[in-house]
Amino acid sequence: MSHKPQLRIAVDIGGTFTDMAAFDEASGRLLFGKALSTHGELVKGIQATIDSAKIDWRDGHLFLHGSTIAINTLLERNGAKTALLITEGFRDIYEIGRVNRPDAYNLFFNKHQPLVKRSLRFEVAERLRADGSTHKPLDEAAVRELARDLKGEGVEAVAVLLLHSYRNPSHEQRVKQILQEELPGAFVCASHELSQEYREFERVSTAVANAYVGPRVSEYLGQLEDHLGQQGFEGDFYIVQSTGGLFPVEHAKVGCVRMLESGPAAGVIGAQAICAQLGMGDAIAFDMGGTTAKAGVISEGRPLTTGSALIGGYERALPIQIPMMDIHEVGTGGGSIARVETGNALRVGPQSAGSIPGPVAYGRGGTEPTVTDANLVLGRLDADNFLGGELKLDLAACQRQMQERIAGPLGLDATQAADGILQIAVTQMSHAVKAVTTERGLDAGSFTMVVYGGAGPLHASAIAREIGIRKVLIPYAPGYFSAYGMLFSDLRYDYVRSVFRKLNDLSFDEIEAAYQKMEEEGRAALAQSGVQADGVVIERAADMRYVGQEHAVTVDLPLAFFEGKDRAAIKKQFDELHQVRYGTSAPQEPADLVSLRVTVLGTMKKPPKHSVAQGAAAPEASAVRAVKPVYFRATGWADTPVYLRDRLLAGNQITGPALIEEHASTTVIQPGDALRVDELGNLQIEIGSDRT
């Protein structure tokens, strides 16, 4: 090919749809594609999105990818046959866990189920002290013999956790080496490669999760690489991490657990970009797709991250100790199935119709009503204009199944049943928003909620009303937004070291040396990546707690604090964050530094701002596609104008009720709401005071 490839292509695989966004760096054009996810053959769904946008892989120089394959493998428990090698005497710490009961009054609470059964957990004769010195040397012959036994068991993956390896990884490194010699085809993961922090239960859980998903994820990434090669793609292939940053596919094949929340994290990065464009400091990023709804927070222009998370919900959660976006997820999406259960209780989700068979409306064999079907029954979706008319919806089948399965048993009509389904779904989704705001000490009502995902704009106004949020923003191309957000991601490497120092006894020279060592590792990793970054940004943070506390909070620390050796500024920053998070602080109490954190970013060229032409306050007549009856609880059935989003101009104002249709999404403007189109084409909605 004679011309230089200029396309940056991003693909996000969700539970129901696969989305593609591409940025032509030569012309500044944005291209989008969408297809139903093909769960047996994910690569097929990716190719379908490329075909729908009429893109040639040979024109691409960078491919960015986020996928739910890692998290789904964990949640569905269909990963590899995994063994665990652990320090002598500690065989059961993975099962014992923390023995804490996260929800004291939950009668249905169950302990987590380990990913490795007890018969495949083995003890290794060795022991390091807490300072990393050797207490008992590693018995290499015993490890070699054990590796041969594992081969006979047909083990596909092995996780290694040896005590205090975050201080001294030499024993773990040697065990991994022996395992690779004796089990050449197995996926082997040592805990120090993923986490350099203390807390052995969280580290073993992280290493096991990585080994458990490793074979499946690395095989999938290998297949995708082969497909790209066959299609003539010669550019770089990067995976989106749970932090929203990018890392090379070779790293992703080894640290698979780092891509657990890759799609949701990319959405938050996209929301951060919108905030930056509008000069908006604080926002809630809310994503509702076909299977789940997710929420994250941007505070003072930066996404909130966490050093660990519970994957799989409180009840059966396994901790993962790696940096990731602080995102809360609930099992409610457009495809969430509604059922009448014992005692005539209506339940929505967490089971999803996914893409196969999909909602009843899709006409692909689905028989159980879903949230999408409820929206169709209430007139909020259009049977002939879904996905621009590419997917015709079956309204009659929806009404029939709604009546038979939900309305009839509950003694309601189909409209009331559909409205009830949406009410329950909205309440469940509001919990995701509260989990990242109210439970973090933040006032949700003072934030603007940036809503995206194919199903998000349908429910944005109702969720905002539920929580008391007054401002909602629907960005450009919300149905492709997680893929679009990837185009704003930077190369990113995160490093953590546990240090345990009292702040008052702190040697700044020692801490500076530790930070600089991590920063050098990050710069070296960026150099190895081969991608030409526009610049390098380094961010420092520390996990801090009051002396005598058990748990720490992560505090962002400007470089100026270290240049000025300003102990008081570090303490003040911690006190202020503790006050926000817990409603209390103790400025007079001494503090501990528990772990040091460094983020090294290789900044990438960003797509330009999307803008729309200026118009009058009243939308042009050609923007109205139709007027049709739509059901709202405040008014009942009401004649509602349907606007075409691509015909709306900056400055246009619309009062509810109204629907705004675009190719992959529909925005509902409820009675009492007021919409204004800004100069970037975002829909800014002032939520009315009607809270019925």
How would residue 529 be classed by pLDDT, with cut points 50, 70 and 90?
confident
Residue 644 lies in a domain: no
Q: What is the pLDDT of residues 617-643, one digit of tens each?
A: 999 999 999 999 999 988 999 999 999
CB atoms < 10 A from the CB of 114, how many?
21
Instruction: Say if 507 falls within a structural domain.
Output: yes
Torsion angles phi and psi, residue 651, rounded to 5: 95, -15
Residue 663: partners with Cβ closer than 8 Å, 6 or more residues away? 32, 34, 387, 388, 479
Q: Which residue among 218, 237, 267 closes a domain?
A: 218
The pairing of beta strand 82-87 with beta strand 121-124: parallel
Greatest pairwise CA separation for the chain in angstroms: 81
Is 346 within the bounds of a domain? yes
The residue-averaged pLDDT of 224-228 equals: 93
The answer for residues whose C-beta is within 8 angstroms of residue 477's C-beta and 6 or more apart is 21, 30, 32, 484, 662, 664
In a domain, 450, yes or no: no
Hey, which bits of 30-107 come out as E strands?
A: 30-36, 60-67, 82-87
pLDDT in tens, 446-488: 899 999 988 899 999 999 999 999 999 999 889 889 999 999 9
Same domain, 500 and 585: yes
105 has pLDDT over 80: no
- Domain containing residue 83: CATH number: 3.40.1360
Say which residues have a Cβ less than 8 Å from residue 132's Cβ, sequence separation at least 6: 164, 167, 168
> What are the tens digits of pLDDT across the range 295-326?
999 988 889 888 888 776 555 678 888 889 98
* Amino acid 387: pLDDT: 74
Same domain, 123 and 45: no
Look at residue 690 in the predicted model and tell me its pLDDT. Answer: 53
Among 218, 239, 266, identify where a domain stops: 218
Residue 668: which of 678, 676, 657, 677 has the closest Cα? 657
Per the CB < 8 A criterion, the answer to whether 88 and 165 are in contact is no
Domain check: are 239 and 172 in the same one?
Answer: no
Please give the average per-residue pLDDT across 335-353, as a whole number: 86
**In whole angstroms, what is the distance from residue 568 CA to residue 565 CA?**
9
State yes or no: pLDDT of 360 exceeds 70: yes
Q: Tens digit of pLDDT for each residue in 562-585?
A: 888 888 999 999 999 999 888 899
**Cα–Cα distance between 610 and 168 in angstroms, integer?**
50
- The CA distance from 333 to 68, in Å, is 15
Do 105 and 199 belong to one domain?
yes
- pLDDT band at 531; cut points 50, 70, 90: low
3 state SS of 51: helix
At 583 the pLDDT is: 87
* 418 band by pLDDT with thresholds 50, 70 and 90: very high
Q: Which residue has the tokens 């991994």?
A: 176
Mean per-residue pLDDT for 192-207? Answer: 91
| Position with higher pLDDT, 14 vs 120 | 120
pLDDT greater than 70 at residue 72: yes
Model pLDDT for residues 642-687, shown as the tens digit of each residue: 999 999 999 999 997 999 999 888 999 999 999 999 999 999 999 9
Q: With 60 as the cut, is the pLDDT of residue 691 above it?
A: no
- 152-179: average pLDDT: 94
* pLDDT digits 0-9 by tens, 127-149: 999 989 999 999 999 999 999 99
| Tokens describing residue 128 | 């390091």
Q: Is position 264 within any domain?
A: no
Q: Write down the mean pLDDT value for the chain.
A: 89
Same-domain pairing of 213 and 224: no
Residue 377 shares a structural domain with residue 505? no
Q: Is residue 305 part of a domain?
A: no
Check residue 391 and give its pLDDT.
Answer: 79
- Among the residue ranges 69-73, 135-139, 148-152, 266-270, the one predicted with the least confidence is 69-73
Residue 98, number of CB atoms within 10 A of its CB? 12
Q: How far apart are CA 47 and CA 627, in angstroms?
A: 37
What pTM was computed for the model? Answer: 0.88
Cα dihedral 338→310→265→493 (10° resolution): -160
In angstroms, the Cα distances linking 374 to 348, 408, 411, 428, 458 are 11, 15, 17, 16, 11
Task: Provide the domain limits for residue 372.
Answer: 336-424
Output the domain CATH number for residue 15. 3.30.420.40
Q: What is the mean pLDDT of residues 332-342?
A: 87
Tell me, yes or no, whether 188 and 112 share the same domain. Answer: yes
Dihedral angle of Cα 611, 614, 615, 617, to the nearest 10 degrees: 90
Shared domain for 185 and 241, answered yes or no, is no
- Give yes or no: residues 21 and 38 share one domain: yes
Residues 213 and 85 in one domain: yes
> How many percent of the chain have pLDDT more than 70?
96
> Does residue 661 lie within any of the structural domains?
no
Verify that 528 and 554 share a domain, yes or no: yes
Given a cut of 50, is residue 1 above it in pLDDT?
Answer: no
Pick the last residue of a domain from 384, 406, 424.
Answer: 424
Residue 291: pLDDT over 90: no
**What pLDDT shows up at residue 191?**
94
- Give yes or no for residue 689 having a pLDDT over 80: no
Instruction: Give the chain's domain count.
Output: 4
Q: Are 333 and 349 in contact (CB under 8 A)?
A: yes
The answer on 105 and 33 residing in a single domain is no
Quickly state the pLDDT bin for 286 (edges 50, 70, 90): very high
pLDDT, tens digit, for every residue of 482-524? 999 999 999 999 999 988 889 988 888 888 999 999 999 999 9
Residues 545 and 551: their CA atoms lie apart, in Å, by 7
Does 213 fall in a domain? yes
Residue 464 tokens read as 């905002």
pLDDT at 420: 94
Q: Does residue 383 or residue 124 have the better pLDDT?
A: 124
Q: How high is the pLDDT of residue 692?
A: 41
